[in-house]
Amino acid sequence: MNRAPIIFLGVFFALAFSFVGLVLTNQITYGAFTTHVDEEEGKAFPLPAPGLAAQGKLVYQDLGCVSCHTQQVRRAGFGADTGEHSRGWGERQSVARDYLREERVLLGSVRIGPDLRNLAARKNAEGADFTADWLYRYLLDPKLVVADSDMPRYAFLFKTRQIVGEPSPKALKLPAASAPAAGYEIVPTARGEALVAYLLSLKDTYAYPETKNVYTPPAPKKAGEKKEGHE
């Protein structure tokens, strides 16, 4: 350990070891995955996101939603993400192919807010599907919809404007207490619309071949059949 060249070489190989073993190996094995073509439906999964949803993803990134929300469903039995007695955040564990088309994978690292991976495929707290309407109201003021919510308001994704002629079809329907003054309506800005379109595109419902590789515990042996050939 007295020679600097030995230390340099050792340090280089140590990092090279993890770089090759982790980064390169994974890039070669599953970084090269392609979409899965479903013969019956004639589509390649994962489906590409519609244009507005792709813009919405950029809004999601720039507002830093990943600071509070994750987008990964862990396997059944690991926490309460999916499976029996779970929060129903997904039908199955998220697999690598679900993120294939994403230019920036935002798995998230902390759940100050719930997981969003399957937002469009699950029910909200009232048991209904998430709709654009519900999401707009939630973003404008979360407490309108979920009384105890800890999420800040995103009122800057909306604008209050005077009603000219007919009220806009995009105007939010709000209860009297939060409704704007008479003659005014609240509509989402382009960013707000894009963000909601993105959120409504979040569903990982396709069953890729690898989603079948799930561990099933061996069936418990019944008392009478304990020893084979006993009968």
- State the nearest-atom distance from the C-beta of 59 to other proteins, in Å: 9
Q: Which of 110, 123, 159, 161 binds other proteins (CB under 8 A)?
A: 110
- Cα 166 to its chain centre, rounded Å, is 37
- State the nearest-atom distance from the C-beta of 60 to other proteins, in Å: 8
Among the listed ranges 93-101, 159-167, 177-185, 219-227, the one in contact with other proteins (CB under 8 A) is 93-101
Q: Is there binding between residue 162 and other proteins (CB under 8 A)?
A: no
d(CA 149, CA 138): 10
Three-class secondary structure of residue 110 per DSSP: coil
Q: Which of 165, 169, 175, 209 binds other proteins (CB under 8 A)?
A: 209
Nearest CB to other proteins, comparing residues 146 and 179: 146
112, 96 contact by CB (below 8 A): no
- State the nearest-atom distance from the C-beta of 210 to other proteins, in Å: 4
- State the nearest-atom distance from the C-beta of 166 to other proteins, in Å: 29
* Closest to 35 measured CA to CA, from 117, 100, 123: 100
- State the nearest-atom distance from the C-beta of 134 to other proteins, in Å: 15
Q: Is there binding between residue 20 and other proteins (CB under 8 A)?
A: no
Q: Is there binding between residue 137 and other proteins (CB under 8 A)?
A: no
Among the listed ranges 64-72, 162-170, 180-188, 195-203, the one in contact with other proteins (CB under 8 A) is 64-72
d(CA 104, CA 89): 21
d(CA 99, CA 79): 21
Q: What is the CA radius of gyration of the chain?
A: 24
Q: Is there binding between residue 54 and other proteins (CB under 8 A)?
A: no
CB hemisphere CA count around 104 (13 angstroms): 13
Residues 163-202 vs other proteins: string with x where CB under 8 A? ----------------------------------------
Q: Is there binding between residue 126 and other proteins (CB under 8 A)?
A: no
Helix axes 132-140, 190-199, angle to 10 degrees: 120
Q: Which of 49, 68, 132, 174 binds other proteins (CB under 8 A)?
A: 68
Q: Where are the alpha helices (DSSP H) in the chain?
A: 4-18, 25-29, 51-62, 132-140, 142-145, 190-199
**DSSP-assigned letters across all residues of 159-219:** EEEE--SSPPTT-----TTT---TTEEEEE-HHHHHHHHHHTT-------GGGG----PPP
Residues 71-90 vs other proteins: string with x where CB under 8 A? -x-xx--xxx----xxxx--
Q: Is there binding between residue 210 and other proteins (CB under 8 A)?
A: yes
